[in-house]
Amino acid sequence: MHHPDFGKVEVCSCRKQALQDSQHRHIYQVSNLGAFEHMTFDTFNPQGRVGLPESQAMTLSFAFNQAQHFAQNVEGWLLMTGGYGCGKTHLAAAIAREAVSRGVPTLFLTVPDLLDWLRASFDRSDANYEERFNEIRNIQLLVLDDLGTQNATPWVQEKLFQIFDHRYVSRLPLVVTSNQDMDAVDGRIRSRLGDPGLVTRVRITAPDYRSPVHDSNHPQLSALHLHARCTFGNFSLREHEKLEAGEKQSLEKAFQAAQHFAEKPRGWLVFLGGYAIGKTHLSAAIGNYRHAEGEQPMFVVVPDLLDHLRATFSPSSPVSYDRLLDDVRTSPLLILDDLGTQSATPWAREKLYQILNYRYVAELPTVITSVATLDEMDERIRSRMLDKRICQIYLIDAPPYRPSGAGMPRGKTTRRT
């Protein structure tokens, strides 16, 4: 009589599994995942296709890891953004399927379908409208695919906000995917999606999986993918090397300037100094940081740029000179590595001046590295660099960085995030 379960009705052990199976079937039917049976973590390729630049593949791998972590914990919100066909829906469906397999009541809906249902239910005064609406708001895990693609009336926008706001206040788990820039989303919803205490944000920069990686008939001008490993996190400030105070200070100032520029690219940033002191690493880290934010910076070694421009004069060139020149000078962020190392023919000087003068007048974000001194540069380019309103110049006055051992740095690698 004193057993804690005395008098309680228990399901026979022989029927427990059958009840659990029945419950899982019900959860799956409610989840709306029937059309996404093939979208699982096992069928997702976190490395992307062969030929995908490593920087883009890294965003896929990161998104895959975050999705798996969310599926195993089902806490907070996960926002995945990126272009069409990059894998967002696949990962969102995989999360939902994993949650369902764990017995978590889950609902997977594309936002346009959700809004169509809301409109239809409201128009015909569906008696089940409120019940269904409350189910969406309160389901343990809600997955909303394609936020921002809808063409919504103010009424429907208000209902969508009510769903987000209710789950935000109640801290109910939510997964959202979107092809849109967040500026295009209702400001009230955007503010909740911007809460770092609740929301994990992931941006996938990989292209549409169904389209070719690139057009093989066009030269791959930007070399940023070759420097995908250059990040601020693995840049060495050489703390354990015996650097002079001024040398160490110049390195730290350049590092801080690069981080600041990467967060808000404005004007020009110029790194001067000898070979193997970190100029290229810092400039590539800026490019990789902006690339992770969904932008397409152009990283070009100046001698290579001039070779590409010369090649356009060939009758067999797949790209015109005017098109290539315009792509370079109008790039949202242009990184020119090794300015001044090229053969300074009159033609080369003129082309570089045209590119940099255009960007100077338009005040387009530009990063330049050079082993040349200011006195050695074309005076027209130098005059623009000396405009403190537009340009910041950092001279890294440190000796060459010489890794010791099997590619390991002499000093401790300082990691910043």
The 10 Å Cβ neighbour count of residue 331 is: 22
Evaluate whether residue 218 is within a structural domain: no
Q: Are residues 262 and 348 in the same domain?
A: yes
| Helices 129-138, 154-170: crossing angle, 10 deg rounding | 40
Decide: helix, strand or coil at residue 106: strand
Q: Do 200 and 245 belong together in one domain?
A: no
Residues 21 and 91 in one domain: yes
Residues 240 and 145 in one domain: no
Pair 189, 231 in one domain: no
pLDDT of residue 149: 53
**CA 65 from chain center: how many Å?**
14
191 plus 229 within the same structural domain: no
Does any domain span residue 4? no
- The whole-angstrom separation of Cα 92 and Cα 112 is 16
What pLDDT does 416 receive? 31
Same domain, 349 and 382: yes
Q: Residue-wise pLDDT tens for the chain (417 aa)?
A: 555 555 554 545 555 444 444 444 444 455 667 767 778 999 888 887 656 677 788 899 999 999 999 999 999 999 999 887 788 999 999 999 999 888 899 999 888 778 777 776 665 555 577 878 888 899 999 999 888 755 567 887 888 999 999 999 999 999 999 887 787 788 899 999 999 899 999 999 887 665 544 443 333 578 898 888 899 998 989 888 888 999 999 999 999 999 999 999 999 999 999 988 999 999 999 999 998 888 889 999 998 888 888 888 877 677 788 888 888 989 999 999 999 855 567 888 888 999 999 999 999 999 999 999 999 888 999 999 999 999 999 999 999 986 553 333 333 333 332
Q: What DSSP state is assigned to residue 339?
A: T
Number of domains in the chain: 2
Beta strand residue intervals within 85-205, DSSP E: 106-110, 141-145, 174-178, 199-204
Residue 200 sits in the same domain as residue 233: no
For residue 403, tell me if it sits in a domain.
no
Name all contacts of 25-29 with Cβ < 8 Å and 24+ positions apart: 27/100, 27/103, 27/104, 27/105, 27/106, 28/100
Would you state the pLDDT for residue 148? 77
According to DSSP, residue 382 is labeled H
Check: CB of residue 269 under 8 Å from CB of residue 326: no
Contacts of 5 (CB under 8 A, 6+ apart): none
Q: What are phi and psi of 52, to 5 degrees?
A: -75, 130
Question: Is 108 inside any structural domain?
Answer: yes
Tell whether 354 is covered by a domain: yes
Q: Is 402 a domain residue?
A: no
pTM for the whole structure: 0.49
- The rounded radius of gyration (Å) of the Cα atoms in the chain is 27
- Rounded to an integer, what distance in angstroms lies between the CA atom of residue 368 and that of residue 393? 9
What the block records as the tokens of 183 is 């500026």
Q: What is the dihedral of CA 183, 366, 297, 335, to 10 degrees?
A: -160
Three-state secondary structure call for residue 201: strand
What distance in Å separates the CA atoms of residue 100 and residue 256, rounded to the nearest whole number? Answer: 46
| Shared domain check, 369 and 340 | yes
Is position 219 within any domain?
no
- With respect to residue 144, please indicate whether it lies within any of the assigned structural domains: yes
**Same domain as 260, residue 170:** no
Give the C-alpha separation, 36 to 94, whole Å: 9
Domain hosting residue 289, numbered range = 224-395
CATH label of the domain that carries residue 185: 3.40.50.300
> Do 307 and 267 have their domain in common?
yes
Which of 204, 234, 249 terminates a domain? The answer is: 204
Distances (CA, A) of 209 to 56, 57, 65, 330, 350: 12, 12, 19, 27, 41
Give the count of alpha carbons within 13 A of 126, CB side only: 13
Type of residue found at 386: L
216 burial class (0-12, 13-18, 19+ CB within 10 angstroms)?
exposed
Residues 124 and 242 occupy one common structural domain = no
